[in-house]
Structures are given as C-alpha cells and as structure tokens.
C-alpha cells in the first residue's frame, strides 16, 4: 500500500516540496534500490540473529522511517527517509517466501505462491483510492503517518504470535561481494535516475553509470573465486532461472514503469484529482488480485512456454494501449483496459516468479531466492528511471513547459516495445519447461 499511495500523491508532494513530479522519481526509485541492495543479506541476517528478532526490528525501522517521510521538508530529506524505509522492507520481505519455498512441494508451489501474494495485492488495491482521498481532502503527509498504527499492531502481533526462531549455522558473510554488488547496482540505477534533471552534469551522470557497471563486473569476477558469494551467479546455469531473470528483466522494466506513469497521466494530463486518479488506477490491482486465483489453472492448461509467449505479447499491447488514452476517453473504457492489463501482468508475474524455482534443488532455494529477488527489484527500479527519461526527452522534443498527454503516449508505447524484447528469450524454453511445477503435459 505504501508504494501505491506515493504514486498517487506525487503531483501534490512535488508542489509542496518545490520540485517537479518527474524529479520525485528519486523517492520512487530510492525505496526500490534500497530493497535491491539489502535483500541479499536479509536471509543471512535472519539466520544469524533469528527471524523473529530481525522481523520485529524491521517493522520498527519501517514505521519510524515512515514518520520521517511524512516530516520531509525537501527532496533530499524524503529520499534519505525512503532509503531507510527500504532497508526495513528488505529485512521483512524475503522471510515468508523462503519459509514457503523450503516447505511446499514443487507440485503445489504455484498455488502456494499465489496465496502468499494475495495480502500483498490487497494493499495496491486499496492504496490508490486511500492515498488519493488523503491527498485530496487532507495532506500527503498522512499517507506515511498512517503507517504508525499499522506498524505498532504488526510489532505487537509478531511479538505475541510469531514462533521463536533459533539462530542457525551460517556461512561467512561475503562482505566484499555485498559492497561491490550493492554499489554497482546503486550507481547504475542512480545514474539513470538523475539523467536529464540538471542535478548532475552529463559527465557526472555518465560516470555513475559506468562506475556501476564496472563495480558489478568486478563482483562477477569476485563471485567466481569464492565458495559462498552474496549473489550466487552460478545458479544462472539453470535454464529456467536464467530465462526468468534475463527475459523477466525486460518485461519488468516495462511493467515497473506503469505505476509511475499512470497516476501522472491522469492528474497532469487529464487534470484528475488524486482521489479520482486512485479510484481509476485501483482497477489494475483488482485485475491482478483476481488472476491470482486463476493462474495455477491456466499454467496447468497451457504450460509455461506457451503462456509466457502469448500472454507476454498481450500484456505489452495492453501497456501500449494506455498511451492511446485521451481526456475524452470514457472512464469505463480506461478502467476496462486497466483491469485487463492487471489480469495479464499478474499472470505473467506469477509465471515468471514460479518458473524461476522449477529446477532449483531444495538446498539452493535460499540462494536462488536472493538472486532472483535482487534481479526483480533492480528491474522495477530501472523501469521507473527509464520511464522518467522518456518523459523528459519527449517533453524536450515537444518544447513544452509541462508534461502533456503526448509525452505520456510516447512513454507508454516505448516501454511496451521494450517489454516485447523478452519474447525472444521465452521462445528458447522447451515445451515441457517447469512441467513438474505447472502439471502441464506438452502435446
């Protein structure tokens, strides 16, 4: 809910903080980037100090940083608070997934992962209208401050009901790998995020991107030389995981741009209030939630390869269709496209998230989860950065002072075309890929 309410509130926050809505992509990407950097050590920390203790500390960090976000007086303050909030999120997110991945037979994993994501889909469903209502009729600060009672309740219930989790024997932490991979991913996304905003010179921006790529290249060499790297890239030899990571990158960049672009289009392009924008965009989450109950059946019917190919094309077409919205487009048509797009993207995400573990041995589940989750968050952060760059280039080409509907059309269509780059990799999957998990029998 926290991530979707900020998307709905970006224009109001920008006006209050004295910056542009596109510049606030920093607050968007900083949270995702903080998740990306700290997720790899979350499993090690929870094993070393006990999952219950780490989970409760993470709730406290997330809640206190939410208060700091609401108190932000300028963009740097907000960005710093969002980074700490991402640290809290990174220490909570993987715990439940790892437990499920270790405990559930692979034949039942698709359904289990679908149920695991249902609570996470309720937040995006109620987030846009709640955030829009608060921003329209109260103040954007309360979209963060409302986390305080939620955090307190979470901390109390975790203390009372979560079972004690003893410390486990852990391998030595790959500190050098953590530094190299974290800085590499951070510098790369940061360079793309600040591009075109006059925050840094073009040479400095390019320097961040180049430094990020070089540092992550050094990490790749480092990972080959040690026994227990923080991100085990050797797991990419497993075809289903490799396809899910590489092809999933292009698709997630496209899909990650949508939550950033859509509220801005409705509010800046169509002059909708934040509340009206939230009511419209929540239809996307409603479609995503509905698909979670159908995904396992569709995978069993069509199999991973056919579903990823066909649904991938349909999903990208629906993303491009958002670029055809006009102020005169009936709200019912907009919501129908968003609902259908939510269904399609949810199905694609479920397939990508589950096939990643189809051929991973149980002993490697935790390491595969760390690698896959980092790749997932990195691509979503890049989606916001790429979408903002396209908006800024389009605005510059049109020579307008503010963003127009034409700028959003270009952004939606270009990110959708980028998402289609995943299709070629999906075609390399064998027809029986992930059959043990999906239950599909290829003809």
Confidence of residue 98 (pLDDT cuts 50, 70, 90): low
Task: Using the predicted structure, report yes or no on whether residue 443 has a pLDDT greater than 60.
Answer: no
385 and 340 belong to one structural domain: yes
Give a yes or no: residue 169 inside a domain.
Answer: no
359 vs 309, which has greater pLDDT? 309
Least confident stretch, 64-68, 193-197, 200-204, 400-404:
193-197
Contact 383, 25 (CB under 8 A): no
Q: What is the pLDDT of residues 380-438, one digit of tens each?
A: 888 888 888 898 888 888 887 778 889 999 999 999 999 999 999 999 888 888 787 77
Last residue of a domain, one of 229, 251, 266: 229
Last residue of a domain, one of 201, 229, 257: 229
pLDDT (mean) for 21-31: 79
Work out the burial of residue 307: count CB atoms within 10 Å of its CB; fewer than 13 is exposed, 13-18 middle, 19 or more buried: buried
Please give the pLDDT value at position 170. Answer: 74
Confidence of residue 214 (pLDDT cuts 50, 70, 90): very high
What are the residue ranges of helices labelled H in 146-238? 147-161, 175-194, 202-223
What are the residue ranges of helices labelled H in 50-174? 51-70, 75-103, 109-137, 142-145, 147-161
Please give the pLDDT value at position 95. Answer: 67
Contact 266, 281 (CB under 8 A): yes
DSSP for 372-386, please give it: HHHHHHHHHHHHHHH
Sign of the dihedral through C-alpha 268, 122, 423, 301: negative
d(CA 318, CA 415): 12
* CATH number of residue 58's parent domain: 1.20.1250.20
Give a yes or no: residue 167 inside a domain.
Answer: no
Confidence of residue 165 (pLDDT cuts 50, 70, 90): low
Domain tally, the chain? 2
Task: Using the predicted structure, report yes or no on whether residue 116 has a pLDDT greater than 80.
Answer: no
What predicted TM-score, i.e. pTM, was given to this entire model? 0.81
Last residue of a domain, one of 182, 205, 229: 229
**Strand residue runs (E) in 281-426:** none
336 and 195 belong to one structural domain: no
Give a yes or no: residue 168 inside a domain.
Answer: no
252 and 393 belong to one structural domain: yes
82 and 130 belong to one structural domain: yes
299 and 245 belong to one structural domain: yes
Q: What is the pLDDT of residues 130-154, one digit of tens each?
A: 888 888 888 889 989 999 999 999 8
68 vs 99, which has greater pLDDT? 68
Give a yes or no: residue 221 inside a domain.
Answer: yes
Give a yes or no: residue 294 inside a domain.
Answer: yes
Task: Using the predicted structure, report yes or no on whether residue 104 has a pLDDT greater than 80.
Answer: no
263 and 115 belong to one structural domain: yes
d(CA 343, CA 350): 11
Please give the pLDDT value at position 344. Answer: 94
Q: Is 443 helix (H, G, I), strand (E, B) or coil?
A: coil
270 and 345 belong to one structural domain: yes
Task: Using the predicted structure, report yes or no on whether residue 213 has a pLDDT greater than 90.
Answer: yes
d(CA 385, CA 189): 7
Confidence of residue 128 (pLDDT cuts 50, 70, 90): confident
243 and 98 belong to one structural domain: yes
Task: Using the predicted structure, report yes or no on whether residue 324 has a pLDDT greater than 90.
Answer: yes
235 and 126 belong to one structural domain: yes
- List, in order, residues 6 or more apart from 314 with CB less than 8 Å away: 344
191 and 297 belong to one structural domain: no
279 and 358 belong to one structural domain: yes
Give a yes or no: residue 383 inside a domain.
Answer: yes
Within 10 angstroms of residue 370's Cβ, the number of other Cβ atoms is 22
Distance between first and last Cα of the chain: 42
Least confident stretch, 246-255, 303-312, 374-383:
374-383
pLDDT (mean) for 152-169: 80
38 vs 171, which has greater pLDDT? 38
pLDDT (mean) for 154-168: 79
- List, in order, residues 6 or more apart from 157 with CB less than 8 Å away: none
- As a whole number, the mean pLDDT across the chain is 86
108 and 207 belong to one structural domain: no
Structural domain boundaries enclosing 212: 174-229
d(CA 131, CA 11): 12
Q: Look at the block and give the residue holding tokens 């908006």.
A: 391
Please give the pLDDT value at position 103. Answer: 64
Give a yes or no: residue 286 inside a domain.
Answer: yes
Residue 195 DSSP code: T
Please give the pLDDT value at position 337. Answer: 96
**Which conformational region is residue 196 in: left (phi greater than 0), alpha (psi within -120 to 50 degrees), or beta?**
left
Give a yes or no: residue 39 inside a domain.
Answer: yes
Contact 369, 94 (CB under 8 A): yes
């Amino acid at each position: 809910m926290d991530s979707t309410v900020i998307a709905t509130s970006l224009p109001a926050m920008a006006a209050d903080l004295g910056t542009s809505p596109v510049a606030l992509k920093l607050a968007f990407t900083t949270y995702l980037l903080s998740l990306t950097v700290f997720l790899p050590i979350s499993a090690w920390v929870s094993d070393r100090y006990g999952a219950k203790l780490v989970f409760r500390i993470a709730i406290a960090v997330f809640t206190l940083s939410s208060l700091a976000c609401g108190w932000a007086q300028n963009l740097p303050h907000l960005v710093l608070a969002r980074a700490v909030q991402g640290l809290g999120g990174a220490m909570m997110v993987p715990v439940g997934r790892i437990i499920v991945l270790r405990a559930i037979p692979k034949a039942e994993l698709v359904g289990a992962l679908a149920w695991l994501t249902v609570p996470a889909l309720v937040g995006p469903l109620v987030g846009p209208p709640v955030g829009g209502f608060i921003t329209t009729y109260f103040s954007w600060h309360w979209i963060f401050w409302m986390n305080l009672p939620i955090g307190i309740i979470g901390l109390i219930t975790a203390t009372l009901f979560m079972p004690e989790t003893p410390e486990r024997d852990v391998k030595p932490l790959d500190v050098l790998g953590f530094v190299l991979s974290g800085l590499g991913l951070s510098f790369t996304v940061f360079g793309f995020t600040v591009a075109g905003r006059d925050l840094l010179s073009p040479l400095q921006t390019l320097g961040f991107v180049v430094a990020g790529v070089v540092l992550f290249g050094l990490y790749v060499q480092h990972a080959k030389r040690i026994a227990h790297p923080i991100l085990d890239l050797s797991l990419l030899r497993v075809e289903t995981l490799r396809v899910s990571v590489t092809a999933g990158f292009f698709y997630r960049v496209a899909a990650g741009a949508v939550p950033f672009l859509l509220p801005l289009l409705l509010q800046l392009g169509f002059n909708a209030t934040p509340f009206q924008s939230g009511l419209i965009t929540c239809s996307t989450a409603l479609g995503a939630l509905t698909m979670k109950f159908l995904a396992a059946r569709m995978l069993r019917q069509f199999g991973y390869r056919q579903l990823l190919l066909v649904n991938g094309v349909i999903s990208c077409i629906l993303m491009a269709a958002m670029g055809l919205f006009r102020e005169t487009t009936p709200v019912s048509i907009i919501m129908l496209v968003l609902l259908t797009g939510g269904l399609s993207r949810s199905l694609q995400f479920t397939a990508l998230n589950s096939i990643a573990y189809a051929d991973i041995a149980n002993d490697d589940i935790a390491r595969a989860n760390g690698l896959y989750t980092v790749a997932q968050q990195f691509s979503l952060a890049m989606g916001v950065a790429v979408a903002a760059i396209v908006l800024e280039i389009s605005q510059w080409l049109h020579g307008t002072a503010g963003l127009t509907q034409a700028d959003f059309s270009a952004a939606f269509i270009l990110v959708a075309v980028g998402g289609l780059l995943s299709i070629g990799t999906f075609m390399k999957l064998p027809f029986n890929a992930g059959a043990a998990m999906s239950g599909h029998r290829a003809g």
